[in-house]
Chains A and B, each alone.
Chain A
Amino acid sequence: MEVTQVLLNAQSIDGAVRKNAEESLKHFQEQNLTVFLLLLSGELVSEEKPVETRKLAGLILKNALDAKDQQRKVELVQRWLSLDGNAKSQIKAGLLKTLSSPVSDARSTASQVIAKVAGIELPHKQWPELVGSLLSNVHQLPAHAKQATLETLGYLCEEVSPDVIDQDQVNKILTAVVQGMSASEGNTDVRLAATRALYNALGFAQANFSNDMERDYLMRVVCEATLSPEVRIRQAAFECLVSISSTYYEKLAPYIQDIFNITAKAVREDEEPVALQAIEFWSSICDEEIDILEEYGGDFTGDSDIPCFYFIKQAIPALVPMLLETLLKQEEDQDQDEGAWNIAMAGGTCLGLVARTVGDDIVPLVVPFIEENVTKPDWRQREAATYAFGSILEGPSPAKLIPLVNVALNFMLSALTKDPNSHVKDTTAWTLGRIFEFLHGSAVDSPIITQANCQQIVAVLLQSMKDTPNVAEKACGALYFLAQGYEEVGPSSPLTPFFQEIVQSLLTVTHREDARESRLRTAAYETLNEVVRCSTDETAPLVLQLVPVIIMELHNTVEGQKLSSDEREKQSELQGLLCGCLQVIIQKLGSSESTKYLFLQYADQIMGLFLSVFACRSATVHEEAMLAIGALAYATGPDFAKYMPEFYRYLEMGLQNFEEYQVCAVTVGVVGDICRALEEKVVPYCDGIMTQLLKNLSSNQLHRSVKPPIFSCFGDIALAVGEYFEKYLMWAMSALQSAAELSTHTTGDDELIEYINTLRNGILEAYSGIFQGFKNSPKTQLLIPYAPHILQFLDGIYMEKDMDDVVMKTAIGVLGDLADTLGSHAASLIQQSVSSKDFLNECLSSEDVMIKESAEWAKLAISRAISV
């Protein structure tokens, strides 16, 4: 194969040529991977080849080593590890050689590929000489090769975890990087590469940051780099500071004053990308301190691994004025632009975080700014003042804020309708939303909304919903929180007199021509949903009246017309919103017996519409319709059986939807709803459902987050069909058993442990459902052979000492279910298990009521099993 030509063809503008080339590449790769990779690395290293083919060769090489999909990634790693050693050495040598190529694209591609190979090999103790060979003669290298080497080190640090590189090598890497950053390095590209490499290497520098001298040196180099004449270096240096602020928060005290000076200068004078990073430094410090203070507050012992240094509290006299200045640097169109991010927005965001960090202390620093600017003729000043007010509404105590709000509320309501500037109105509506979000509701003692002003507030918000889309969207948001505040108001809500008008106005908004701008229509439906969710019995008849209205809207969308793809997208977006709205209504009306009965007259019609919606190909719509059907099944109970013959195929489709795994996950949940609704009437559908669920479990393509709910679903099915589950018992138990073995021990980061706990919970819920399903049936003895393994699993996860409260509750419940169902058959097994002693005792003395309750149950069931 003529690689160069194929690689050129693969980038051809002619689709047919391109497709042909891609296929032959794929074919070749499948035929002989080793030779294929050797050829690619040969292409990359060769100075005679065109830059495009060298780049593409590197890229394909990189993709042969890594993939986004976790499962695929594992496969690729295994494949690389099993390749012939000589070939790999040859490839790696080629890659290292490319680092000194005069062609910058080739160097940079090689850097990335080296990091990927390192990411695979270093954890397996292979390629130990890599760091040494990269650093061996870094001082003597020409600038371009030095730059490539530093870049490679950066990627390498990004790719591998700190524990696979020993401290000696870390020291060497940091030394090289810091030297590359220092002022003595004359080449800008080298300094930039070094600064960026440091950003990735910071995570490796724990030991160095604990050494005062080395830390001082590192901090000095970083701070010096923030003053570099090259803007990209300054930006990269500030990014390092941001990273340091979260990784080494507790080491910052000696430097914080200097850092403040540097950041303040950058925020006021530097170019935007640099200024944004300077602001980000303080936002990041806020994040740290909020976390620490939350940990202080959440625990009576007041322990946190890291002490709070109250940097923000000390800095606010200077920090807050600096941030307030940024608020005046708005961009003209920022409210219309979804992706806008500028100094004013970053400054406001940081101000909000500062307010959450220091609470009441921020108020006197901000109020004068508000008072001074909010009535100024320049819209920038009015908007900045309002934004400042909105920003500090979360954090300070209601006692401190409510007097201010009481004074400001009227002004804000009037500004929302009368201010000539749309930015000001936008921010005003947003601020009202924040007022309602944080200072309105049953948790707040002195209400800011009274009988006297409620009507005016509603009127103003409804009025604003006719404003430009961005303002109207914010007004919807404010109404959302206004409704939410009345969620637990009791039988009578102050919104009752306006309920009809609010619903009408929201529906009108959804029909606006420009409703798709600024996600206005979505906001209107979301607000409608919240208004329904928070409605009381008084307005139940009005919610009921809403049902045929939404049905009609949904009906209109499924009327078959030929649509352009843009129209179809619009249509499915709308269908999603309508299904979501119906879901909320079903859940609301289904939760009380009286309204449920009245609502169910629409059930047939609604179900019919959902079935037509399934005919559309859009994941969001499917998910929304599924969620709504789950709620409907819950409301109808056993009557749902009549929809099953038609609905079943969509259920199956949902379960098969691996790609849009959210749809799959939601569908699994709905299977649970249906089981609980139909109980033994679900039997005719169980073969299909169980087959599909077992298939899903064994698939590598299905997102892992769907697997725990599938296990829980086994439990739902078993509980619904009882001993009929016998058919599936062997398969289900075998799947559960292998998952149980995998999830007994956890190693990994918090995220993985969290996932493992979710998985354990699913497995345990399955066991519970199966035991309870078989209880009192003559087939109970079928479960006896599984008892030893299940008890072993319980003991195993108990010994591991890393289960969360949810798992603990479910696990101890399973112990009870096992004892309850198997009784004396399992008595001696139970008595031998650790779970029945230490674990049970631990749960019995738990502070968590649910754990304690499950433990009491288990204790009783065990005593009973043993006593017989």
Chain B
Amino acid sequence: MAPHDIRRPFKRAAISDQQKRRELSLLRQAQNRRDAQQQARCLASSILSLQSAAPESQPEQSDIELETVPEAEQESEAFSKDLDVRQASKLRGPEVRKWFARQLMLPEWMIDVPDRLAQDWYVFARPAGKRCFVVSSNGTTVSRQRNGSILHHFPSALPAGAKIRDGSGSAQSYCILDCIFHELDQTYYVIDMVCWNGYSLYDCTAEFRFYWLNSKLEESGACNAPSHYHKFRFSAVPVYNCDQSGLHAAYTGVVPYAKDGLLFYNKHALYQTGNTPLALVWKDDNCSQFVIDTDGKGEIPSQQQVVLELQDDRKLVTSDDPPVLFGCLDGDIIEKSGLHTGNLLRFAIGDGGLSFVDGKLEKADLIYLGKSNRARAFADSYSKVLFQFMVRHSPLKIDDLLASINSANDQEKTPSDIEMVG
């Protein structure tokens, strides 16, 4: 073998375009395969397109009545609940807003104490502020409120949250965080993590999501002070096991934000969009400024007000699924006021109040006030009406919660004592 056989005379052109075409083809195929895989893994490759949706018009704040607490109810419509991110990526404009509106997990109000609170639940002090989704992707970060309107558009240290060439993260990378924006310290308090770095946590338990949230958020640098590429600080909130000390800590502990009640999350619950009894909100005057609903002027009405939906057989129902019946409306009123099926109507609860039989609502003393504000999309939920009713009459107190934990402890202890003797 003469060595010059392997040495290419270098004046002969070394370019083989066919080889180059072959290699570029393989490169393209490998890239496409990777994309397809990634898409399958992430459920979504193109949440990017959600952000380029038409600019949002800010909702007129004054239109929203009785909604000083940001997590006011939004019920699922006739739309399928399990609309996934991939489908969402095909939506445009107003549909995007609707989609986002349905993506938050909305706690029910705590109207009685769930079993096994100490074992199966977390508790944390809910920051007062605007509940929103924070989405980072393609080098930018957008926060959207429940109604889909954009709160901020900014660079952040979240994965894919700013245009920094650090080579990390693929084009498909994105994050979706469930946050409350706290005006006073201009901080996004992350109360839940829905997607992180391209991977969906929707079908993960709260236990896992909180664990992931705590390790990843810190690691990403998103908790650092604001800087040029990181306009707002993010922060996790301290989450406790809902035992006696945990509940006490959440209730009385000092946090850097104004509290607005306590949130209880069932450890085993997946991130479920819409209302869920596996997340609960509870508040009293000690831990919230907004215990009793106010009206549009910020004043507490003398009588509790509720918004109910009119059905075609004159029934008045809540937004729950299935709806809870509160009563029937006089045919007269319907005719006089020109009401139609589906209208949202405002009522006061009269002195007759609500009466229950076997824990079920039997009768409600409703006084018709008029149509609700146009901005309202949904009627009140049963748990909200009941919580507000209880607040005015016989509130669920922190002591009741603590007592429930203690009694559960006692019950748990008994059998184990017996076993130990035996």
Contact = CB atoms under 8 A, between A and B. Distances in A.
Contact of A580 (B11, B17, B40): B17
Given A387-B11, A627-B21, A772 B41 contact: yes
Contact of A768 (B10, B17, B37): B37
B212 to A, nearest CB: 7
Interface string A805-835: 0000000010011001000000000000000
B7 A283 contact: yes
Which 3 residue pairs of A and B lie closest in terms of their CB atoms, listed nearest first? A526-B17, A772-B40, A280-B3
A584 B170 CA distance: 26
Contact of B205 (A284, A525, A868): A868
A239 B3 contact: yes
Interface in B159-175: 167-170, 173
A341 B9 contact: yes
B199 A857 contact: yes
B81 interface: no
Contacts of A857: 41, 198-199
Contacts of A627: 21-22, 25
Contacts of A759: none
B41 to A, nearest CB: 6
Contacts of B7: 280, 283, 346, 349
Contact of A772 (B4, B37, B204, B211): B37
Interface string A424-455: 00010010010000000000000000000000
B41 A867 contact: no
A864 B199 CA distance: 12
A867 B207 contact: yes
Interface stretch (B26-34, B100-108, B147-155, B410-418): B26-34
Contacts of A348: 10-11
B21 A584 contact: yes
B3 A352 contact: no
Contacts of B169: 849, 853
B201 interface: yes
A430 B205 CA distance: 65
A242 interface: yes
Contact of A853 (B33, B197, B212): B197
Interface string A265-281: 00000000000110010
Interface string A639-661: 00000000000000000000000
Interface stretch (A224-232, A559-567, A666-674): A666-674
Nearest to A387: B11
Interface string B27-69: 0110011001100110000000000000000000000000000
Interface string A384-399: 0001001100000000
A769 interface: yes
9 contacts: A239-B2, A480-B15, A580-B18, A669-B29, A775-B40, A813-B41, A856-B197, A863-B211, A867-B205
Given A765-B33, A775-B40, A813-B37, A530 B25 contact: no
B334 interface: no
Interface string A709-737: 00010011001000000000000000000
A477 interface: yes
Interface in B128-185: 167-170, 173
A468 B413 CA distance: 100
A716 B208 contact: no
B24 interface: yes
A473 B13 contact: yes
A477 B13 contact: yes
B203 interface: yes
A536 interface: no
B22 to A, nearest CB: 7
Interface in B70-111: none
Contacts of A853: 169-170, 173, 197-198
Contact of B25 (A277, A391, A631, A861): A631
Contacts of B3: 239, 242, 277, 280, 284
A817 B37 CA distance: 10
A154 interface: no
Contacts of B167: 849
Contacts of A669: 25-26, 29
**Chain A interface category by residue count:** 35 or more
A407 interface: no
A249 B24 CA distance: 37
Interface string A747-766: 00000000000000000010
Contacts of B17: 522, 525-526, 529-530, 580
B40 A672 contact: no
Contacts of B29: 630, 669, 672-673
Contact of B212 (A523, A666, A860): A860
A358 to B, nearest CB: 17
A322 to B, nearest CB: 18
A634 B208 contact: no
B173 to A, nearest CB: 8
Given A387-B11, A623-B22, A864-B204, 6 more contacts: A390-B11, A666-B25, A716-B33, A813-B37, A856-B197, A863-B208
A341 B17 CA distance: 24
A239 B1 CA distance: 9
A234 interface: no
A817 B41 contact: yes
Contacts of B207: 867
Given A349-B7, A427-B11, A817-B41, A666 B22 contact: yes
Contacts of B201: 860
A676 interface: yes
Contacts of A623: 22
Contacts of A535: none
Nearest to A816: B41
B265 to A, nearest CB: 15
Contact of B21 (A477, A529, A773, A861): A529
B15 A719 contact: no
B25 A630 contact: yes
A615 interface: no
Contacts of A864: 203-204, 208
A326 interface: no
Contacts of A863: 204, 208, 211-212
A848 to B, nearest CB: 10
A627 B18 CA distance: 10
A624 interface: yes
A538 B404 CA distance: 72
Nearest to B26: A669
Given A387-B11, A676-B36, A864-B204, A341 B4 contact: yes
Contacts of B204: 860, 863-864, 867
A769 B37 contact: yes
A357 interface: no
A572 interface: no
Contacts of B18: 576, 580, 620, 624
Contacts of B205: 867-868
A345 interface: yes
Contacts of A283: 7
A164 B262 CA distance: 77
A327 B29 CA distance: 45
A340 B9 contact: yes
Contacts of A284: 3
Contacts of B12: 338
